[in-house]
Amino acid sequence: MKRSTKQRLTHVPLYLVLLGVAAFLYFRTDWAAIGANFFAPEGMGRPWAGEWGTWPDLITIGAFNTIKYTVIAFGGGLALAVVLALMRLSPLRLYRWMGTSVVEFFRSLPVIVVVLTLAFGVPIAFNWQWPGGSIQAGLVALILVGGAYMAETLRAGIQAVPKGQTEAARSLGMSSGRTMITVVLPQAFRIVIPPLTNEFVLLLKDTSLLFVAGMMIDQRELATMANAMTVQGATAGTSTSFTQAAMLYLVITLPLTQLVSWMERRQQRAR
């Protein structure tokens, strides 16, 4: 017997196990229930029906808000991350210590605890209201947590820029601040684009936690909207809206994660 044939034969039991599990699941599954609940024709089959709780609303309100919140949290987080990373690399011990404290603090807490504390704890403590409503508290929480994570990524990126780059810039008479802005940061950002894109995807998924802060109807993002649609609208009483939300999340994140792995492969080849 040829070696490859023999090898293929040893795979046969593996395929049989898989086939068995698949057959078991197929016969035990209530396909009718899945069809009616997760793929109700009111939601799935009539894409542009116009009633509340079908595709158009889910996209123009839910997906739109999800992307909006992600962009705000990512943009704010990145700005914060630059400040925190520079603090952590500062020659002043006090700055290093403060940067480290903020980063470690917000990386250690569950996002939902930060959201709840800012949305409810802070207003009670200081008898004060968020001017933009509690959704603003949630966004600030995402900025803080996202900023803490991205600060670490960025710090690693800054440190990965060869020392010779700084030395060349300084010996051309650039100040240390000018060197950072003109020479180091642009190269550091290039290094950390893949991990930052991952952070973008994580933040996008974390926007689904914002509902605990409470939000107006037109502020709902994808997950919250899908949840509301299980009790109200064309597909009420079914789980179809979750299927739709899941499809929309995939449509948004899959290209991004694919982009990241493409960039990482390209970077590896460049080495």
Mark 139-178 with x for binding to another protein (rule: CB under 8 A) and - for no binding: -----------------------x-xx-xxxxxxxxx--x
Stretch that binds another protein, among 38-46, 98-106, 184-192, 206-214 (CB under 8 A): 184-192
Query: Does 268 participate in binding another protein (rule CB under 8 A)?
Result: no
Query: Which secondary-structure segment (H or E) carries 22?
Result: helix 3-28
By beta-carbon proximity to another protein, the closer residue of 165 and 267 is 165
Q: Which is nearer to another protein, 162 or 237 (CB)?
A: 162
- Which residue from 90, 117, 136, 187 is in contact with another protein, where contact means CB under 8 A? 187
Residue 267 identity: Q
Burial of 148 (0-12, 13-18, 19+ CB in 10 A): buried
Dihedral over alpha carbons 204, 208, 212, 215 (to 10 degrees)? 90
Calculate the CA dihedral of residues 115, 117, 119, 123 and round it to 10 degrees.
-160
Q: Are 225 and 61 in contact (CB under 8 A)?
A: yes
User: What's the closest the beta carbon of residue 11 comes to another protein, in angstroms?
Assistant: 46
- Scan residues 6-45 and list those touching another protein (CB under 8 A): none
Nearer to another protein, 131 or 173 (CB): 173
The C-alpha atoms of residue 253 and residue 232 are separated, in whole angstroms, by: 27
Q: Report, in Å, the least distance between residue 171 CB and another protein.
A: 4
Amino acid in position 194? P
Binding part of the chain for another protein, among 59-67, 99-107, 128-136, 185-193 by CB under 8 A, reads 185-193
Residue ranges in 188-247 that form contacts with another protein under rule CB under 8 A: 190
CA distance 206 to 166: 37
Total of residues contacting another protein (CB under 8 A): 18
Tell which one of 29, 60, 101, 182 touches another protein (CB under 8 A): 182
| Whether the Cβ atoms of residue 168 and residue 73 lie closer than 8 Å to each other | no
Considering only 139, 183, 192, 213, the residue that binds another protein (CB under 8 A) is: 183
- Scanning 55-63, 75-83, 182-190, 238-246 for contacts with another protein by CB under 8 A, the matching segment is 182-190
Q: Show Cβ contacts of residue 149 under 8 Å, excluding neighbours closer than 6 positions.
A: 77, 81, 107, 199, 202
Shortest distance, CB of residue 164 to another protein, whole angstroms?
4
CA 52 from centre of chain: 27
Name the residue among 122, 119, 144, 147 with its Cα closest to residue 134.
119
Contacts to another protein by CB under 8 A: 162, 164-165, 167-175, 178, 182-183, 186-187, 190
